[in-house]
Amino acid sequence: MAFENPFKSILKTLEKPGGAGEFGKYYSLPSLNDPRIDRLPYSIRILLESAIRNCDEFQVKSKDVEKIIDWENTSPKQVEIPFKPARVLLQDFTGVPAVVDLACMRDAMNSLGGDPNKINPLVPVDLVIDHSVQVDVARSENAVQANMELEFHRNKERFGFLKWGSNAFHNMLVVPPGSGIVHQVNLEYLGRVVFSTNGILYPDSVVGTDSHTTMIDGLGVAGWGVGGIEAEAAMLGQPMSMVIPGVVGFKLTGKLRNGVTATDLVLTVTQMLRKHGVVGKFVEFHGEGMSELSLADRATIANMSPEYGATMGFFPVDHVTLQYLKLTGRSAETVSMIESYLRANKMFVDYSEPMVERTYSSYMELDLKDVEPCVSGPKRPHDRVPLKEMKVDWHACLDNRVGFKGFAVPKESQSKVVDFTFQGTPAQLRHGDVVIAAITSCTNTSNPSVMLGAALVAKKASELGLEVKPWIKTSLAPGSGVVTKYLQKSGLQKYLNQLGFNIVGYGCTTCIGNSGDLEEAVASAISENDIVAAAVLSGNRNFEGRVHPLTRANYLASPPLVVAYALAGTVDIDFETEAVGVGKDGKNVYLRDIWPSNEEVAEVVQSNVLPDMFRATYEAITKGNPMWNQLTVPSSTLYSWDPSSTYIHEPPYFKGMSMSPPGPYGVKDAYCLLNFGDSITTDHISPAGSIHRDSPAARYLMERGVNRRDFNSYGSRRGNDEVMARGTFANIRLVNKLLKGEVGPKTIHIPSGEKLSVFDAAMRYKSDGQETIILAGAEYGSGSSRDWAAKGPKLLGVKAVIAKSFERIHRSNLVGMGIIPLCFKPGEDADTLGLTGHERFTIDLPNRVSEIRPGQDVTVVANSGKLFTCTLRFDTEVELAYFDHGGILQYAIRNLIGASH
């Protein structure tokens, strides 16, 4: 669709320093001459520039630009705007269905006589095969290779499919498995900060299919996590709908004290922000304390935005950012372009210049000198415990009733000792004993100061003769190969190895529960004696059951403290007064004896973390690794679907698609598939976790010769719609009013009165040519924005959802899949209207999209004689266009063919 940008008059040329030519053109915010812009938070300026650059008066309108400029007045009012990110970041689990959909779109394009090669992401897509390393092999020099071989054995089919995608699609960079954790790779390599595309300069911004995408905010790149359908829409050039966020201004002053780490800082900030309440908001950091924080420290704080509840924890670009870009191997020319553009467009913070006071929705402040060493736990990331109070807090947790801070262990058994034999040697376990100690997670492994700090603790401890008990499962999982390079150059990796912290792989490990099994003797001692065993990890999440089923107490700590707790062997210790262990000379060794000073750490970082390491690591990424390179995949434009595959399957979204949009459709005599109350989350709807042995998904796999032990998880089978459709609404905690109090993944097939699995009932309705709808209460679809929570119902044949209210992203995902979202009028719901769910429902809609208005009233008629009015929740003209075409993917195909009307 040809358009003229109404802001073309502010398109300016950016000259290179010293008259050496030009960097390109850019939309100049200062040229708007609007004093409100000077007061805008930096994070909001990025939204503003995107709206101006993409303004076409259809997807993005001039009035949207005005809403953002008037942020001070609009942000408290839940005003929606469209946002087009500069790029999309995919992890492999979420990347697979996205690439499946692109492959299907090519097939559809081909069958309609179009050129399938036109189906490519319209914005750059970075897909990192951030395979999650299961720590099957821990204390061993060859752990990396052994774990990697197991990963390739388990995931060969998925990896092969993504490798085909990396060759088949332009504008898509695939980073092979074994390269690192997606967020660290994004920070060190993929982050552009400023794009230069077709002569136009603009800020980097990114949406990613993992909540910790926010780590990139530490680099001054606006980024956050979204669901798969939102990411696919952004890939195809469609705008995302978002509420203009409030921005919390977080002022940092002072300097961290000696012995205090970035992890201590982030756990403190997480607790403060969780208490303040920042859900749905941006947090923007500023103040003179910023110059004391390294870029890696900032990234550590930004990474944990999901844990404190914010959409972003944003650090505007300043001199520290530019130094980091040089350190990580970005070219001098690129860094010069980034600085020149951001200064010219008033998006650069220069702390040497007088600052214009910016407006924030609320204000917070922290003096860095007040931060003290701490951990968080035993079950939540924001339950911070100062290190000096840890022993007292632990005993309180043993006493307290079961809850976030309690295990309710009777007083008489709190000091019990369990004797067991480990590999022929007598051993003992007590409550609070550490059985897992893991340096893991993108949060901390991207930060050289805490990684080298941990290595210095290991060196001092080893030299004094301290050891880690052999039954403690120790592991080190760096987020990129750069960490290995600087640990080896410093000569410190050998000390980590001596204590059992061998490198096990490059990827997410213990932080997401891939701890691997504990040795059988340890596992039996814990489970048979009801021991509250502990894990200590440098991760970002420690919810109960996440790290390992047998570790009921899980503490987040800095990497140096992970080593210290491994040496102590227990969390039941006061490091101030109690020894970590006994040295080879028979004397007690305390934490202060092995803890490096800030100066020691800074010196090791300065001399061992070098730009060449980043360059060499990321040049190697593009060449792949032997196992990746040995995967043979076809070079065809169209994917050759294997009908026998239980991992990758062609979904039926485009079956029977024609060049002409089908137009809007109503619903006639539809049965109610499910009748819900309030707060049905995407976890209730979307397939997640393990595949239950008695489920329709298990039946499907067994019919295809898959053994139970090879079921894997729904997550790993996201590329197979047959498995995922069968896992939709398969949650064992589902409460469906049609079942009259019974809980579980069943429903009543209304015509026969039979109780069936939701999938079987849906298939019977479909085969009988009968339409279905869902009735729901308030906040339908709250929680994570899981794409399969909308794709699944579409495949089950659901035509409409009538709810009291929708979670914003889930409503948008339903629209993207062509499902009609309707809201009961205020004060009404299925119960007040006397609906039982046994009725048949007709929803009459005009058959021309031009006769439908966003948010109009629609009449719903039940065959019981009841008639009620609902609000049609297509909220924009763009969403109506998707509905006209039967969904966002179909809309994109017809637009590319040029058949849009």
Which of 62, 53, 75 is closest to 198 using CA atoms? Answer: 53
Give the chain's domains with CATH numbers: 9-83 (no CATH), 374-593 (3.30.499.10), 667-885 (3.20.19.10)
pLDDT tens per residue across span 738-748: 999 898 899 99
- Cα–Cα distance between 60 and 631 in angstroms, integer? 43
Average pLDDT for 318-331: 95
Q: What is the pLDDT at residue 588?
A: 97
Among the listed residues 803, 697, 706, the one whose alpha carbon sits nearest the alpha carbon of residue 760: 697
Phi and psi for 632 in degrees, rounded to 5? -95, 125
Distance (Å, whole) CA 329 – CA 516? 35
Pairing of strands 22-27, 11-15: antiparallel
pLDDT digits (tens, 9 = 90+) for 626-685: 889 999 998 899 999 999 999 999 999 999 899 999 999 999 999 999 999 998 888 889
DSSP state of 244: P
The answer to whether 504 and 135 are in contact (CB under 8 A) is yes
At 585-631, the pLDDT tens digits run: 999 999 999 999 999 999 999 999 999 999 998 988 878 788 899 99
pLDDT in tens, 49-59: 999 999 999 89
How many alpha carbons lie under 13 Å from residue 478 in its C-beta half-sphere?
Answer: 27
In percent, the amount of the chain with pLDDT more than 70 equals 99
The rounded distance, in Å, linking the Cα atoms of 749 and 842 is 18
Dist. CA 384–CA 263, nearest whole Å = 11
- Note the pLDDT of residue 728: 96
Structure tokens at 530: 């009801």
Residue 428 in 3-state DSSP?
Answer: strand
Q: CA 1 to CA 676: how far, in whole Å?
A: 42
pLDDT computed for residue 552 by the predictor: 93
Q: Which of 327, 290, 339 is nearest to 446 (CA)?
A: 327
Residue 899 has pLDDT above 50, yes or no: no
> DSSP secondary-structure letter at 189?
I
For residue 484, the surrounding DSSP H or E stretch is helix 481-489
Average pLDDT over residues 527-536: 96
> 755 forms bridges with which residues in the sheet?
748
Give the mean pLDDT of the chain. 92
Number of H helices, E strands in the chain: 32, 34
Amino acid 41: pLDDT: 97
Percentages helix, strand, coil for the chain, rounded to the nearest 5? 40, 20, 40
What mean pLDDT is predicted for residues 466-477?
A: 94
Strand pairing category for 667-675 and 840-843: antiparallel
Q: How many CB atoms lie within 10 A of CB 520?
A: 9
Once rounded to an integer, what is the mean pLDDT over residues 476-489? 90
pLDDT tens per residue, range 97-132: 999 999 999 999 999 988 999 999 999 999 998 756
Reading the block at residue 702, the tokens are 């067994």
The pLDDT tens digits of the residues spanning 788-811 come to 999 999 999 999 999 999 987 789
Supply the pLDDT for residue 709.
82
Closest CA to 810 of 794, 792, 786, 826: 786
Instruction: Quickly tell me which residue has 């034999």 as its tokens.
Output: 421
Matching residue, tokens 């709908």: 241
Quick check: 278 pLDDT over 80? yes
878 has a pLDDT exceeding 90: no
pLDDT at 901: 38
Is the pLDDT confidence value at 900 over 60?
Answer: no
Has residue 481 got a pLDDT over 50? yes
**Does the pLDDT value for residue 188 go beyond 70?**
yes
Q: Are strands 798-803 and 772-775 parallel, antiparallel or unpaired?
A: parallel
Least confident of 6-10, 176-180, 307-311: 176-180
pLDDT computed for residue 2 by the predictor: 56
Exposure b/e, 824-835, CB count within 10 A at least 16 = b? beeeebbeeeeb
d(CA 535, CA 526) in angstroms, rounded, equals 13
Q: What is the pLDDT of residues 2-44, one digit of tens each?
A: 578 999 999 999 999 888 899 999 999 999 999 999 999 999 9
pLDDT of residue 324: 94
- Buried-state track 280-295, b at ≥16 Cβ within 10 A, e below 16: ebbbbbbbebbebbbb
pLDDT at 785 over 70: no
Pairing label, strands 820-824, 867-872? antiparallel
Give the integer Cα–Cα distance in Å for 729 and 717.
Answer: 16
Q: Give tens-digit pLDDT for 220-231.
A: 999 998 888 889
Q: How many other CB atoms are found less than 10 A from the CB of residue 656?
A: 7
Instruction: Label residues 586-624 b or e (16+ Cβ within 10 Å = b).
Output: eeebebeebbbebeebeebbeebbbeebbeebbeebeeb
The mean-pLDDT minimum among 124-138, 150-164, 165-179, 371-385 falls in 124-138
